[in-house]
């Protein structure tokens, strides 16, 4: 793994509908990792995008009477706009209908074909349009319906190209076992190894154009279009300029982290590594597999009326609060549950009460006791040293958890420090110190610890709440030039930002308490 560069990807979203909260979670998780690694001083490339080919999209466009490309365009822009809606920092947005992607996908196909790993054969199987995949008996319920879509698959017999995935089954298993391709959490690694234990089978790699006229042409055969695997999965390299093996491709591949949902693990840990091995390309460093977002423990569906629209939540609560709730309440690899009641509780407790109140109290006391300017003389106490030591420990945990993709735990550790600073105020009792003229240096030291502590918190929360960081720093009157390049985690353990004579600004609520009646 390269220490100076970081390349993170999400799975590409299918443009058959509007963005949902599950995809919002994934792109926010990737954004948190991207912003964190920028704070470490790394050169970061963050990719997301959309998958625009396949039977499902073609048939939906036909039903609504639209040209397929026009239909794809109308939905793709909704996903591209997430950069603004969710305040993402992605470096690029790949569309599988773009020419650069088509040429790159055709290049990797040709490499695999030249290797002898793509061959033509007849195939008969049960095909689910919703899954865009052939199903085995394990994928069906007792009535023969798809386990996911609850519909009967179509029996299809056709001549396709196949990828000789079975050839790479043992090598893929060895890569996963050795963590050459690291899958986290461990439970997903074990799940994949169990699947590979049965042996990976060759997979259909194309569809006849008379069945699916919407896709990327197979090189050298105008009667066939690429199936989803070579088309969609190759986006991670085509966006980097794989076609010409560009500077970005040389610089950033292999990916440092690929973030995917648990439902597509076998494709990314099976077919994708096989494709890369066939094309003689390096494997990604790691796959981070997240769970789903539920509502009151139930899968979201239109029929239940519990579908969460990310844009609506952001309109109500703000983008930083929404991002924070998703990250804090979706634990490492598990499903997350989102309800208005739990979201409002988290926002009020963590953001309004803990962080917002800490900032307001600190600035309010600075104005009351020192007219907002710190005296030059300080009297440091043992309690101050304990706070400094605790922050060093917090920073260590933060780095550890971020490096392990345990994002919820990383920010939980930050909030433990926020809570400790609130307790520090009560223990130090500045209102009592202020009554004694001889305690002014001690009072100044307490204020300095709080201002410095808040400035450190502002940096730590930046990956998840990038809009809040400048607001806190502005109120603390600590320089911020307006972009991430001015922020760094380097040297954060040192307590030297705030010196005597430092002046703070007036307090303005950054997270007002939400008084609305929660629905759920």
Last residue of a domain, one of 260, 291, 322: 291
Q: Are residues 287 and 348 part of one domain?
A: no
Last residue of a domain, one of 256, 272, 291: 291
Name the strand (E) or helix (H) holding 46.
strand 43-51
**Is residue 333 domain-resident?**
no
CATH code where residue 381 lies: 1.10.730.10
**Is residue 313 domain-resident?**
no
Task: Give dist(CA 135, CA 146) in Å, integer.
Answer: 8
**Is residue 267 domain-resident?**
yes
pLDDT of residue 515: 81
**Is residue 358 domain-resident?**
yes
Task: Give dist(CA 339, CA 293) in Å, integer.
Answer: 10
Q: Are residues 344 and 263 part of one domain?
A: no
Q: Are residues 217 and 152 part of one domain?
A: yes
Q: Is the pLDDT of residue 496 over 90?
A: no
pLDDT of residue 127: 81
Q: Are residues 172 and 63 part of one domain?
A: yes
**Is residue 252 domain-resident?**
yes
pLDDT of residue 301: 62
Q: Is the pLDDT of residue 1 over 70?
A: no
Instruction: Calculate mean pLDDT across residues 45-72.
Output: 93
Q: Is the pLDDT of residue 481 over 60?
A: no
Q: What is the pLDDT of residues 245-255, one digit of tens each?
A: 999 999 999 99
Q: Is the pLDDT of residue 59 over 80?
A: yes
**Is residue 76 domain-resident?**
yes
Q: Are residues 345 and 285 part of one domain?
A: no
pLDDT of residue 520: 45
Number of structural domains in the chain: 2
More confident position, 2 or 409? 409
**Is residue 69 domain-resident?**
yes
Task: Give dist(CA 256, CA 234) in Å, integer.
Answer: 16
Q: Are residues 371 and 279 part of one domain?
A: no
Q: Is the pLDDT of residue 337 over 90?
A: no
pLDDT of residue 518: 45
Q: Are residues 241 and 114 part of one domain?
A: yes
Q: Are residues 399 and 270 part of one domain?
A: no
Tokens of 227: 């199936």
Q: What is the pLDDT of residues 414-424, one digit of tens each?
A: 999 999 999 99
**Is residue 316 domain-resident?**
no
Q: Is the pLDDT of residue 482 over 70?
A: no
pLDDT of residue 483: 63
Q: Are residues 355 and 257 part of one domain?
A: no
Domain residues for the domain of 458 are 339-486
Q: What is the pLDDT of residues 99-118, one digit of tens each?
A: 999 999 999 999 999 999 99
According to DSSP, residue 3 is labeled S
Query: Closest by alpha carbon to 87, among 512, 469, 475?
Result: 469
Q: Are residues 219 and 118 part of one domain?
A: yes
* 401 confidence band (pLDDT: 50, 70, 90): very high
Q: Are residues 350 and 251 part of one domain?
A: no
Q: Is the pLDDT of residue 288 over 70?
A: yes
More confident position, 134 or 119? 119
Q: Are residues 19 and 94 part of one domain?
A: yes
Which three-class secondary structure string do you get for 362-421? HHHHHHHHHCCECCCCCCCCHHHHHHHHHHHHHHHHHHHHHHCCCHHHHHHHHHHHHHHH
SS3 225: strand
CATH code where residue 282 lies: 3.40.50.620
Q: Are 305 and 295 in contact (CB under 8 A)?
A: no
Mean pLDDT taken over the chain: 92
């Amino acid at each position: 793994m390269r220490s100076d560069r970081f390349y993170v990807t999400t799975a590409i979203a299918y443009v058959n509908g509007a963005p949902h909260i599950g995809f919002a979670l994934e792109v926010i998780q990737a954004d948190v990792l991207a912003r964190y690694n920028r704070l470490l001083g790394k050169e970061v490339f963050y990719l997301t995008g959309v998958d625009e080919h396949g039977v499902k999209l073609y048939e939906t466009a036909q039903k609504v009477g639209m040209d397929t490309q026009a239909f794809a365009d109308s939905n793709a822009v909704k996903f591209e706009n997430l950069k603004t809606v969710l305040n993402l920092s992605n470096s690029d947005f790949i569309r599988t209908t773009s020419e650069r992607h088509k040429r790159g996908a055709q290049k990797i196909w040709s490499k695999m074909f030249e290797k002898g790993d793509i061959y033509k054969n007849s195939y008969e199987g049960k095909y689910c349009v919703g899954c865009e995949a052939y199903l085995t008996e394990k994928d069906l319920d007792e009535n023969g319906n798809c386990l996911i879509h609850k519909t009967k698959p179509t029996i299809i017999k056709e001549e396709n190209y196949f990828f000789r995935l079975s050839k790479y089954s043992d090598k893929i298993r060895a890569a996963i076992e050795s963590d050459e391709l690291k899958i986290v959490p461990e439970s997903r690694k074990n799940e994949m190894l169990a699947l590979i234990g049965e042996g990976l089978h060759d997979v259909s790699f194309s569809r006849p154009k008379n069945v699916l006229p919407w896709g990327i042409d197979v090189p050298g055969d105008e009667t066939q279009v690429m199936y989803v695997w070579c088309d969609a999965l190759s986006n991670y390299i085509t966006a980097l300029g794989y076609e010409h093996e560009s500077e970005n491709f040389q610089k950033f591949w292999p990916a440092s982290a690929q973030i995917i949902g648990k439902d597509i693990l076998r494709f990314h840990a099976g077919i994708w590594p096989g494709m890369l091995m066939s094309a003689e390309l390096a494997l990604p460093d790691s796959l981070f597999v997240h769970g789903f977002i539920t509502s009151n423990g139930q899968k979201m569906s239109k029929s239940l009326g519990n579908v969460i629209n990310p844009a609506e939540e952001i309109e109500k609560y703000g983008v930083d609060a929404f991002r924070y709730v998703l990250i804090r309440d979706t634990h490492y690899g598990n499903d997350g549950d989102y309800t208005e009641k739990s979201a409002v509780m988290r926002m009020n407790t963590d953001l309004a009460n803990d962080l917002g109140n800490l900032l307001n109290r600190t600035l309010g006391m600075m104005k009351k006791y020192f007219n907002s300017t710190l005296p030059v003389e300080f009297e440091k106490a043992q309690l101050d040293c304990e706070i400094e030591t605790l922050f060093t420990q917090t920073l260590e945990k933060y780095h550890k958890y971020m490096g392990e993709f345990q994002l919820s735990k990383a920010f939980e550790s930050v909030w433990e420090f926020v809570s400790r600073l609130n307790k520090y105020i009560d223990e130090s009792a500045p209102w009592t110190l202020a009554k004694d003229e001889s305690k002014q240096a001690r009072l100044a030291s307490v204020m300095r610890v709080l201002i410095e502590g808040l400035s450190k918190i502002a940096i730590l929360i930046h990956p998840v709440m990038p809009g809040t960081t400048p607001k806190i720093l502005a109120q603390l009157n600590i320089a911020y030039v307006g972009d991430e390049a001015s922020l760094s985690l380097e040297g954060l353990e040192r307590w030297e930002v705030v010196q005597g004579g430092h002046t703070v600004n007036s307090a303005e609520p950054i997270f007002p308490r939400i008084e609305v009646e929660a629905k759920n």
